[in-house]
Amino acid sequence: MSGLATKGPVVRVRGVTKSFGGAAALRDVDLDLHPGEIHALMGMNGAGKSTLVQVLSGVHQADRGTVEVDGHAEHGLTVRRARRLGISFVPQRRELAAGLTVAENIMLGDLPGRRGIVRWSAIDAQARQALSDLGIDIDVRRPAGELTVAEQTMVEVAREVRRGGRVLILDEPTACLSTEAAEQIRTLVRTLRDEGVAVVYISHYIGEVMGIADRVTVLRDGGVVRSAPANEFDAASLVRAMVGRDVVSTRRERPAPQDELGLSVRGLSRGRAIRDFSVHVRKGEVVAVLGPAGDAQAGLFDLLSGRVRPDAGELRVDGAAVPFGKVPASLASGLRCVTGDRRTLGLVPELSVDENLMLAGDRFARRRWHRGGDLARRAAPLRTSYGVVALAGNPPVAALSGGNQQKVLLAKWLQTEPAVCFLEDPTNGVDIAAMADIHALVDDLAGRGVAVLLASSSAEEVMRLADRVVVVSAGRAVAEHDIAAISHDELVATALKGQSQ
């Protein structure tokens, strides 16, 4: 890690305050962003990170306070003005045009040509140069829809830098990536710093932040609680600053699993994504499927939930055969599948928090209308027991932080008393406190005798939750271990070995 940047700040934020519906999202926030510095912005979901980023990028205007760029106060900063000033935002959800090539995405809005005639050779050449300047090796003629998540991030970064981005805000750039892909992104971020870019780095991975950041600013309840060089923090002090207390998510003692199988999957295959995959989960047991993001575990949701029919395989819940390709049959069996894609498949963004909470309940799912008071009354206990916090009232679920959205998704399905539960990356994109809460929910499920199949790309999460782990690579199971018989380092080594096979 390089030393802190010595130049004056390119962006200076002073006393920024922002409220929505009378609820304060930001309170007198100060922040300095220096060129050639990686500045980690940390805080729990709902701490104000997203609102601060939206103020910096011109999506929202502050109610009070100033944003200065190059020493000049910017009043009424808009998205267009922020981009002209070199402030760019790469969101967690990538925004490339899938049907266009890499080159076309990089050059979008600035296609070289004369008199309405596009020079396609120049598009490829300039895009190739933009990637090369950042040490990125991607074929510019590939369709963007064929890129991995890590490659999509690299292309978006190259596009923003080429457009003149001097302040680059990266939101969870390594979420759901394999170890190797995440390191590629971190290498790119260090290159940006060395090129003089001011990088705002948002991540829930404490170890990652400690390893990459030059400076850390922690938000809690909309205000800055500490801003200091990264080497003045350790993991424990960073967590305390974020949460306001010590948070420990250690392995809990649970009753021994029962002998009876809750879930049995045999010979599951679908194309090259999943090949002859089998797993068995006893009642009260947590079995994890561990592999790099996008491997076999990523296709299990569609198959087990009934959305997609496999080429071959057998599924049994509590000993009874369950037909594939039929969502109602999967639900009727007592199997509940919780997607890792809460934005697209898990929640209805425009519906309220309470409506989303009750969507899986038979009484509300079958009715086209309901009394608001009745809905709120039935949803209130779920909000409390699952720790769902909204800034004010009952807003659309899209307005919640990622951690609170995830709690809504889990509450929606787990309230239905499942016999078997499949959880796909249940802590993706949530803060450390929400992660501890979700881990406790999984413990409670298993403690009640529910058979839990957990798909994860985190060895730490697997060691915390699972009784057994199945390691997958290229769609196949390559190893299986009792958690009590393997260390964290051995598990990581096994997973990495599987990726190389």
Please check whether the two domains, 11-96+147-243 and 261-500, share a CATH topology: yes
pLDDT of residue 357 exceeding 60, the answer is yes
In this predicted model, what pLDDT tens digit does every residue of 5-29 receive, in sequence order? 556 899 999 999 999 877 889 999 9
User: What is the dotted CATH code of the domain comprising 261-500?
Assistant: 3.40.50.300
Q: Which of 12, 170, 2 is nearest to 85 (CA)?
A: 12
**Cβ atoms of residues 461 and 483 within 8 Å:** no
Res 345: pLDDT: 85
Of 129-138, 208-217, 238-247, which range is least confident? 238-247
Query: Domain residues of the chain, as ranges?
Result: 11-96+147-243, 261-500
Res 193: pLDDT: 96
114 — pLDDT class (breaks 50, 70, 90): low
Res 41: pLDDT: 96
Q: Tokens 């309470």 appear where?
A: 354
214 — pLDDT class (breaks 50, 70, 90): very high
**Cβ atoms of residues 94 and 176 within 8 Å:** no
In this predicted model, what pLDDT tens digit does every residue of 392-407 receive, in sequence order? 778 898 888 777 888 9
- Strand partners for 268: 277
User: What is the dotted CATH code of the domain comprising 11-96+147-243?
Assistant: 3.40.50.300
In this predicted model, what pLDDT tens digit does every residue of 451-479 receive, in sequence order? 999 998 778 889 999 999 998 887 788 88
Write out the DSSP string of 187-226: HHHHHHHHTT-EEEEE-S-HHHHHHH-SEEEEEETTEEEE
Write out the DSSP string of 420-460: EEEEESTTTT--HHHHHHHHHHHHHHHHTT-EEEEEES-HH
48: phi then psi, degrees, rounded to nearest 5: 120, 0
* C-alpha to C-alpha distance for 445 and 474, rounded to whole angstroms: 30
* C-alpha to C-alpha distance for 51 and 4, rounded to whole angstroms: 26
* C-alpha to C-alpha distance for 501 and 482, rounded to whole angstroms: 22
pLDDT of residue 323 exceeding 60, the answer is yes
Q: Is the CA virtual torsion 374, 414, 464, 254 positive or negative?
A: positive
Res 3: pLDDT: 46
pTM of the model: 0.70
